[in-house]
Structure 1
Amino acid sequence: MPVNLSDLGNRSKHGGRARPGFSDSRMRGGNYPTRNLGMRGRSAISAVVSPRFRRVPGYVFLSLILLAGITQVSANPAMEWIEKMSDSMRNLSYQGNFVYLHENQLESMSILHIKDEFGVRERLLSLNGEAREVIRDNKNLTCIWPDSRKVVVGDSSQKNFSPLLVLDNIAKISKYYDMSLADGDRVAGHESIIVDIKPKDQLRYGLKLWINSSNGLLLKSNLINELHEVVEVVMFTNLEELSKKDRMKLITMPELDDSFSLIQFYSGDASGNIEADMTWGFSNPPDGFWRESAVKRKLADTEQFIHQMVYTDGLASLSVFIEKQTLQVVQGETSMGAVNGYIRIINNYSVTAIGAVPAITVRRMAESVYRQDP
């Protein structure tokens, strides 16, 4: 996962999936190196993830299915609606409020998304609980916790910062999912069409999408586990497409004084992300999952590296993190809500597979990892 919006300076002592809100479930244990904004300025950073499966506030792990690489459009009407939805969520300008239901918690958020000739500007704002704000433009992804005076600034190309679904790798998913259309009902005052996405095996979750039948914007989504239970719901309570005049709305950065701290600096230099070496291999990954990316990243203010690999089937994705074991970790399964993780130790290295997929999938992925001779 590209960005982990974390506990931001507080050593987390409780495990599980990131909650509440802007989420990711892995942060490096221990004392985080911090920097004062007055000393170093607003450098871009990447809060590096690790096999420690921890419960931390963040914005990231809510959607693990924002993937790249459109291939071709299928004649399947359901797939065409999915493509229309993804295109609309990226390229239309809109604003609205939505609720996110997970683990018997209900969160309320607002979004303002502007797409024009200058690119994309977006703001996500929490409306209940701890104040949190995420601002994205063409260059930066900035995550702010005003109460705790913490800020994370990363590369805006990072995808998994929002609970709203945007799919790109559409043509590849039909091998592992069945898709069908159904008449929808009104959501947030808009007529909808339903796209039902059902997995063909027990290695993935299903999805049910309510798509605005007029402009293609996503109105509601249900994530459905292997037991056919709805484990997460995202639903707009109001959502409106913006006119050209409305697109002039400004999205400005809040004033950040010297009391705000940055955690785990990442400057964006070539030395920050290093191409993954061939030390680690996978003997038998779960059927249908291929490696989308792999990097070896130097952890800030240390000489340690973490290997990060993302695997996807075109819809679901999971990540594998490998790092030298510096803290005692408990091997085995861990989960919270829709997110499952599996941790094992190989030659004093911690290996964690984690994702919004069934437990059998992350376990199979972790158990397929092996260390090759240099």
Structure 2
Amino acid sequence: MKRFLLTAALVLLAPAALAAADAASWLARVGPALRGLDYQGTLVVVADGRVDTLRVFHRVDGGRERERLVALSGPPREVIRDGSRVMCIGTGDAPVAYDMGQAGRWSEALAISEAAGLAGYRARLGGAGRVAGHAVQRVEVLATDPWRYGYRLWLETRTGLPLRVDLLDGRGRTIEQVAFTDISLDQRPSDADLAPSAPAELEQVSALPSHAGEPAGWGVPAPPAGFRLRATRPLPDDGVHLLYSDGLASVSVYVERVGGGLRGDARRQRGAVHARSFWLDGWQVLAIGKVPAATVDRFARTVRAVPVDG
């Protein structure tokens, strides 16, 4: 009887396990596709009641990635990446370049593709469909708790390149969407397509700071499951910026001195980004991130001064 029950349980679990494995195998194709393919197309971003349209060019030259994103709506602006260097060009500002490293990629899809193995997420296959005239396979990366958002990806069947990514709330509703309306795969952009409109050369101006592991004087003793402290950055007057992440979602916590008589709190939201702040005893705490409101509230409420070993 026990053997029968065990066999029955394995039969019931097998489809779910196979579906998760299939989803993981599809997600494993995303990174190589984003890094290694030549393509160009038009990308539409729908968020916070706004629709932005971008022209995207991506080319690989002997393992060196080159990419250019040009805004087709709103103020003229563009982002150019050459290897690990990124230049941002916008109206009224001089071009500024940053050494972004691997974390500076514009597409969230690369991080989402690795989320299936992270605490707080589970992956499953959806149905087939079409995006921008290409056959796609839908893959869902769902949150298993209320502390983070989920995602739905549409992957081009031949290459695994994500052609659409939706950000999902706890009820599975789309709250942000990024999708190609047209795309040409394996079509190499020209040098002119990848060149910045500004005459300045693409060069490093500033390196993004990283102080992971340094004593901060402040911390969140019990962050939501899966989140851990990834980096700290000192601010003036004993303040600090703490960055917490679960490997995909992230929350920034700022602790800064303010006028001693200030007391109160505030909530802010812009699309999928939530912020929570408190003022008390001469300090301001601000938690902000593309996570549900309850998550930033938890971070803001539980920040504590922690001893620093001298």
The TM-score bracket by the shorter chain reads: 0.7 to 0.9
Greater helix share, structure number: 2
- What residue number does 2:117 align with? 172
For 1:329 and 1:145, how far apart are their aligned partners in 2?
37
Aligned mate of 2:57, from 95, 101, 112: 112
The Cα offsets for residues 34-57 of structure 1, whole Å up to 9 and x where unpaired, read as xxxxxxxxxxxxxxxxxxxxxxxx
Greater strand share, structure number: 2
Matches within 5 A, 1:225-236: 225-236=169-180
1:315 aligns with 2:248: yes
1:125 aligns with 2:70: yes
8 Å contact from structure 2 (residues 86, 97) kept in 1:
yes
**Percent of residue pairs bearing the same amino acid type:** 29
- Per-residue deviation at 1:169? 3.7
- What residue number does 2:159 align with? 215
Larger mean CA deviation between 164-173 and 130-139 belongs to 164-173
8 Å contact from structure 1 (residues 90, 166) kept in 2:
no
1:242 aligns with 2:176: no
- What residue number does 1:23 align with? none
Q: Do the aligned partners of residues 138 and 347 (structure 1) sit closer, same or farther apart at CA in structure 2, a change above 3 Å counting?
A: farther
Q: Do the aligned partners of residues 340 and 231 (structure 1) sit closer, same or farther apart at CA in structure 2, a change above 3 Å counting?
A: same
The Cα offsets for residues 306-328 of structure 1, whole Å up to 9 and x where unpaired, read as 63333222332222233333797
Unpaired runs of at least 5, structure 1 = 1-73, 258-264
1:368 aligns with 2:302: yes
Aligned mate of 1:253, from 180, 184, 196: 196
Matches within 5 A, 1:1-374: 76-117=21-62, 119-146=64-91, 148-157=92-101, 159=103, 162=106, 164-167=108-111, 169-170=114-115, 172-173=117-118, 175-243=119-187, 246=188, 249-250=191-192, 251-256=194-199, 267-268=206-207, 274=211, 276-291=214-229, 293-297=230-234, 307-325=240-258, 331-345=265-279, 347-374=281-308
- Per-residue deviation at 1:277? 2.1
Please give the secondary structure, in 2, of the residue aligned with 1:185: strand
Runs of 4+ in 1 over 4 A off after TM superposition: 272-275, 303-306, 326-330
Which gives a bigger RCO, structure 1 or 2 (Cα 8 Å, sep 6+)? Answer: 1
For 2:234 and 2:64, how far apart are their aligned partners in 1?
29
The Cα offsets for residues 54-112 of structure 1, whole Å up to 9 and x where unpaired, read as xxxxxxxxxxxxxxxxxxxx971111211211321122222111111112211111111
8 Å contact from structure 1 (residues 137, 156) kept in 2:
no
8 Å contact from structure 1 (residues 172, 314) kept in 2:
no
8 Å contact from structure 2 (residues 115, 141) kept in 1:
no
Which residue identity does 1:181 align to in structure 2? L
The Cα offsets for residues 258-286 of structure 1, whole Å up to 9 and x where unpaired, read as xxxxxxx97449xx655632311222101
For 1:355 and 1:221, how far apart are their aligned partners in 2?
19
Larger mean CA deviation between 178-187 and 307-316 belongs to 307-316
- Per-residue deviation at 1:144? 1.0
- What residue number does 1:261 align with? none
Unpaired runs of at least 5, structure 2 = 1-18
Q: Do the aligned partners of residues 320 and 91 (structure 1) sit closer, same or farther apart at CA in structure 2, a change above 3 Å counting?
A: farther
8 Å contact from structure 2 (residues 79, 86) kept in 1:
yes
The Cα offsets for residues 175-194 of structure 1, whole Å up to 9 and x where unpaired, read as 42232112221101100000
- Per-residue deviation at 1:332? 2.8
Please give the secondary structure, in 2, of the residue aligned with 1:166: helix
Larger mean CA deviation between 324-333 and 127-136 belongs to 324-333
- What residue number does 1:14 align with? none
